[in-house]
Chains A and B, each alone.
Chain A
Amino acid sequence: MTDVLAVAEHRRGDLRDVSYELVTAGRQLANETGGDLHLAVISGTVEDFAEKLNRDGVDTIHTVTDGEEFNHGVYTQTVAQLADSLDPQYVLIPNSVNGLDYAPAVATGLERPLVTDTIDLETDGETLTATREMYGGKVETTTELEGPAVVTTRGGEWPKAEGTGDAAIESFEPEIDEAALGATVTGFEEVGSGDVDISDAEVLVSVGRGIDEEENLEIIHDLADALDATVSSSRPIVDNGWLPKNRQVGQSGKVVTPDVYIAIGISGAVQHVAGMKGSETIVAINTDPNAPIMDIADYAITDDLFDVVPSLTEAFR
Chain B
Amino acid sequence: MKILVPVTEVATVDDEFEIEGTAIAEQYLGADLNEWDEYAIEEAVQLQEAGVADEVITVTIGPEECEQTIRQALAKGADRAVRIWDDALEGIDLLGVEAKAALLSAVVEDEDPDLVLTGVQAGDGAFGATGVSLASTVGYEWAAVVNHLEHDLEDGVASVRRELEGGVEELTDVELPAVLTIQTGINEPRYASLRGIRQAQRKELEVLGLADLGVDESAIGAAISLTDMYEPESESDATVWEGSAEETAGQLAELLREKGVAQ
Residues of A within 8 A of B (CB): 11, 16, 70, 72, 76, 95-98, 100-105, 107-109, 113-117, 129, 132-146, 182-192, 203, 226-229, 235-236, 238-241, 245, 251-255, 259-260, 281, 283-284, 287-291, 294-304, 307-309, 311-312, 314-316
Task: Note all chain A residues with C-beta closer than 8 A to B230.
Answer: 139-141
Complex Cα–Cα for A187 and B98 (A): 32
- Across the interface, which residues of A come within 8 angstroms of B185, CB to CB? 235, 238-239
Distance, CA A255 to CA B226, complexed state (A) = 34
Q: For A97, list chain B residues within 8 Å (CB).
A: 144-145, 162-165
With A109-B136, A117-B128, A226-B262 known as contacts, the answer to whether A187 contacts B171 (CB < 8 A) is yes
Given the known interface contacts A107-B98, A113-B96, A300-B238, the answer about A189 and B168 at a Cβ–Cβ threshold of 8 Å is: yes
Q: Are B144 and A300 in contact (CB under 8 A)?
A: no
Q: What 1/0 flags go to B219-263 for Cβ under 8 Å of A? A: 000011111111110111011110001101110110110010110
Judge whether B170 and A185 touch: CB under 8 Å: yes
**11 A-B pairs whose Cβ atoms sit less than 8 Å apart in the complex:** A11-B168, A76-B136, A108-B136, A135-B123, A140-B229, A143-B225, A144-B224, A188-B168, A188-B170, A308-B249, A315-B253
Is the CB–CB distance between A301 and B241 below 8 Å? yes
In the bound complex, how far is the Cα of B168 from the Cα of A168, in angstroms?
34
Task: Report the minimal beta-carbon distance from A226 to chain B, rounded to whole angstroms.
Answer: 7
Report whether B184 and A235 are in contact in the complex, using a CB–CB cutoff of 8 Å: yes
The residues of A that contact B17 with a CB separation of less than 8 Å are: 138
Whether A189 and B136, one on each chain, are in contact in the complex, defined by CB atoms closer than 8 angstroms, is no
B176 to chain A minimum Cβ distance, whole angstroms, is 9
Question: If the complex has contacts A141-B229, A187-B171, are A105 and B135 also in contact, measured as CB distance less than 8 A?
Answer: yes
- Given contacts A145-B223, A252-B165, A308-B248, 12 further A-B pairs with CB under 8 A are A76-B136, A98-B164, A139-B230, A185-B171, A190-B167, A240-B188, A260-B256, A290-B16, A295-B234, A299-B240, A312-B249, A312-B253
Inter-subunit contact B253/A294 (CB<8 Å): no
Residues in A neighbouring B159, C-beta threshold 8 A: 186
Within 8 Å by CB of A107, from B97, B235, B245, lies B97
A222 shortest CB reach to chain B, Å: 13
Residue of B with least CB distance to A71? B172
A188 to B229, CA, bound (A): 40
A57 CB to nearest B CB, Å: 26
Contact A144:B232 (CB < 8 A) given known A104-B136, A139-B24, A189-B169: no
Nearest-neighbour CB distance to chain B for A264, whole angstroms, equals 11
A107 to B128, CA, bound (A): 14
A313–chain B nearest beta-carbon distance, Å: 9
A101 touches B141 (CB 8 A): no
Q: Quick check: is B155 within 8 A (CB to CB) of the other chain?
A: no
Nearest-neighbor residue (CB-CB) of A240 within chain B: B188
Q: B232 touching A140 by the CB < 8 A rule?
A: yes
B253 touches A134 (CB 8 A): no
Q: How far apart sit A303 and B250, CA to CA, in the bound complex (Å)? A: 13
B1: chain A residues within 8 A (beta carbon): none
Contact A294 B94 (CB under 8 A): no
**Chain A's nearest CB lies how many Å from the CB of B104?**
12
B127 touches A117 (CB 8 A): yes
A190 touches B132 (CB 8 A): no
Contacts of A291 in B (CB 8 A): 15
B229 touches A139 (CB 8 A): yes
CA separation between A116 and B19, bound complex, in Å?
A: 23
Q: Knowing A260-B261, A301-B241 are in contact, say whether A113-B98 is a contact too (CB < 8 A).
A: yes
| Residues on A with beta carbons closer than 8 Å to the beta carbon of B170 | 70, 185, 187-188
* CB proximity of B84 to chain A, nearest CB, Å: 19
* Chain A residues, CB < 8 A from B164: 11, 97-98, 188, 252
Within the assembled complex, what's the spacing in Å between the Cα atoms of A92 and B224?
A: 17
CB distance from A105 to the nearest CB of B (A): 4
Beta-carbon contact of A103 and B231 below 8 Å: no
**Chain B nearest CB: distance from A137 CB in Å?**
7
B175 interface residue, CB < 8 Å from A? Answer: yes
How far, in Å, is A184 (CB) from chain B's closest CB? 5
Chain B residue contacts of A145, Cβ below 8 A: 223-225
Q: Judge whether B13 is part of the interface by a CB distance below 8 angstroms.
A: yes
**Which of B124, B126, B137, B188 has the most chain A CB atoms closer than 10 A to its own CB?**
B126
**Of B13, B127, B175, B261, which is within 8 A of A135 by CB?**
B13
For A254, what are the chain B residues with a Cβ–Cβ distance below 8 Å? 167
Interface string of B116-150 (1 = CB under 8 A from A): 00001001111111111101110001111100000
Chain A residues closer than 8 Å to B246, beta-carbon distance: 311
Q: Is the CB of A189 within 8 A of B145?
A: no
Q: Is the CB of A134 within 8 A of B252?
A: no
- Asked if B166 is at the interface of the complex by the 8 Å CB criterion, the answer is yes
Chain B residues 169-226 with CB under 8 Å of chain A are: 169-175, 178, 184-185, 188, 223-226
Cβ of B75 under 8 Å from chain A: no
The interface residues of chain B lying within 8 Å CB-to-CB of A101 are: 132, 142-145, 162
Q: Which residues from chain B contact A143 at a C-beta distance below 8 Å?
A: 94, 224-227
The answer to whether B236 touches A297, judged by C-beta atoms less than 8 angstroms apart, is yes
**Chain B residues near A186 (CB, 8 Å)?**
159, 171-173
A145 to B184, CA, bound (A): 31
> Which one of B94, B123, B259 lies within 8 Å of A281 (CB-CB)?
B259
